[in-house]
Amino acid sequence: MVDNSKPLGIILWFTGLSGSGKTTLAEAVKASLKKINISVCILDGDIVRATNHQNLGFSESDIKSNNSLIVDMCVLERKKYDVVMVPIISPYRQSRNEALMELSPRFYEIYFSASLECVRRRDVKGLYDKADNGLINNMIGVSPNNEYQIPITPDFIINSEKDKLSTSVGDLFRFIVFQLKKYSGPHK
C-alpha cells in the first residue's frame, strides 16, 4: 500500500551511450544506499523494454515512447521508494526535458560520459560489433539516423571512461545522500 504522507522519492535519470556503465553503477550505488536504510528502485531500460515494452523498436519515435512510458513508471515508483534510478540511454534532449517537466522537483539528470571509442572497446552486449556488421541498423550513437544528444546542463556527470568504478560509486552516493537531506532526509 502506498503511503501518501511520505515525501516523493528522488529520480535519477541516467543517460549515456550503451556500455557507459549506467546499470553497473546503479547496482553498486543501490547496494551502498541499502546499507544505510535508503530504499531504492532501479528501472533498468533493458529490463523494462523486455518485460513491459516489447512492442517498441529503436526508431526515434519508439525510443521517445519508451522514455515516456518509463516516466509514467517513475511517477508510481517514487511514491514507494526514497530513490528511483533509471539507467537508460535516453538519447534525445526532448525526452529528457519532458521527463524533467513531468518529474520535477526531485529529478536529476545524470550524464555518463564515455566516448564512442571507449564503449566500443567495452561492447559488453556485443551491440557495436553487430552494428558494425550490419546486424543492427539503428544503433544509438553510431547510426546517423539515431544520434546521441549529449546533455547541455546535467545535474551530475559520471566520467566512466576515466574514473574508477569505486570513485564513481562514492561520488554518486554522496550526491544522492545530499539531495535526500535537502528534502528532510529519506522517508521510512
Q: Which sequence positions are flagged as catalytic?
A: 90
What is the torsional sign of CA 123, 126, 129, 130? negative
Which residue has 536504510 as its cell numbers?
37
Q: Are 108 and 84 within 8 A, CB to CB?
A: no
Q: Distance from CA of residue 152 to its chain's centroid?
A: 16
At 18, list the grid cell. Answer: 550503451
Cα torsion angle, 138, 141, 145, 151, sign: positive
Q: Are 9 and 83 in contact (CB under 8 A)?
A: yes
The cell numbers describing 61, all together, are 519515435
Per-position DSSP letters for 5-33, written without gaps between them: TSPPPEEEEEE--TTSSHHHHHHHHHHHH
